[in-house]
Amino acid sequence: MLGKKLGIDLGTANSVIFVQGEGVVLTEPTVVAIDLDTRTVIAVGTKAKQMIGKTPENIVARRPLREGVIADSRITEALLRYFYDRALGKSRLIKPDVVISVPAGITSVEERAVHKAANAVGSRTVTLLPEPLLAALGAGLPIHTSSGNMIVNMGGGTSEVGVMSLDGIVEYESIRVGGDALNEYIISYMKKKKGILIGEQSAENIKIKIGSAVEVRDPKEMEVRGRDVGAGMPKSIMVDSNDIAKAIEFPLKRIISAIKTVLEKTPPELSADIIDRGMVMSGGTAKLRNLDKLFSRATGVPCHVADDPLLCVVKGTGIALELLATGERKFSFNKEFRR
């Protein structure tokens, strides 16, 4: 395990780890469970996620990242240490070189927090690269050419729209709306329209099983269990895909607005390329049914879902590790993003 290089997609909902020469080695929910009495970490990843909403008072299951950035540095360090140990083993003679994905709209304070956490757990060098660029690399877009390439990367906490050319980001928009926001709107809809209280994991399950970005003729149905708003007793109801389409209409409109903003700012020559090639969707939220149809209908631009959308960013970190090590290509950014 000497001189290993790591690529980390540090996401709000899920984190994925890439080891050079081995590929993707780990995919875990970005959740940490802590015993408040002893101030110790008792579970990380899948085990911790299973505890959300089910713990006694002395145990808290938390997500250390909110909206794509670090909300709790101490817990983030514990999370990264767990990932390093799982990916590289606990005995490491040489610290790894690391590429970590961050939102393109990250602030300098948020940037320093990521650097601090990565250095605290034993990194030799830490390179932060914006998610839209990494997602485009991982999706196989030819961003090294002079043609325009458009990516819409939608994770748990953020959605980022970027137009790339010549290994650089020409225009982008980063909004703090993603899969978590969709879950929150589903929870709110169930409470207001269906009279039932459900939790975050139930909302996520509904979204995955029957969720749709647009209303359809033959909607899927499923039984949802929760607590009755009025009586406070357990309650079970049936909901369908069209209910979910109505619930998440507003956050999806915000993502569409970001896409339109980027298209309006994109130079005409690159716009012509995007019309020909279309836009590519990546990230876990890209798996939402009929989302490509919604975006195409709203913008007039063809839309495609990348292969393995959840892994696009982490695959991009692997490609970036190779390119940065050989010096074959250098990545450039607009003045708003600092490496």
DSSP secondary structure, 32-88, as one string: EEEETTTTEEEEETHHHHTTTT---TTEEEE-SEETTEES-HHHHHHHHHHHHHHHH
Pairing label, strands 14-19, 5-10? antiparallel
Residue 13, annotated as binding a ligand: yes
Residue 156, annotated as binding a ligand: yes
Residue 158, annotated as binding a ligand: yes
162 within 8 A of 334, measured Cβ to Cβ: no
What the block records as the tokens of 63 is 């997500």
Residue 274, annotated as binding a ligand: no
Residue 183, annotated as binding a ligand: no
Which residues, in sequence order, are CB contacts of 124 under 8 Å at separation 6+?
A: 94, 95, 96, 97, 98
228 within 8 A of 235, measured Cβ to Cβ: yes
Residue 122, annotated as binding a ligand: no
In angstroms, the CA 281 to CA 291 distance is 9
Residue 226, annotated as binding a ligand: no
Pairing label, strands 149-154, 279-282? parallel
What the block records as the tokens of 19 is 């080891």
Closest Cα to residue 131, out of 110, 107, 151? Answer: 151
Residue 207, annotated as binding a ligand: yes
Q: Phi, psi (5° rounding) for residue 282?
A: -140, 175
Closest Cα to residue 102, out of 135, 69, 71? Answer: 69
Residue 334, annotated as binding a ligand: no
In angstroms, the CA 123 to CA 64 distance is 19
Residue 206, annotated as binding a ligand: yes
3-state secondary structure of 3: coil
- Binding site for ATP, by residue number, is 12-14, 156-158, 204-207
- Binding site, by residue number, is 12-14, 156-158, 204-207
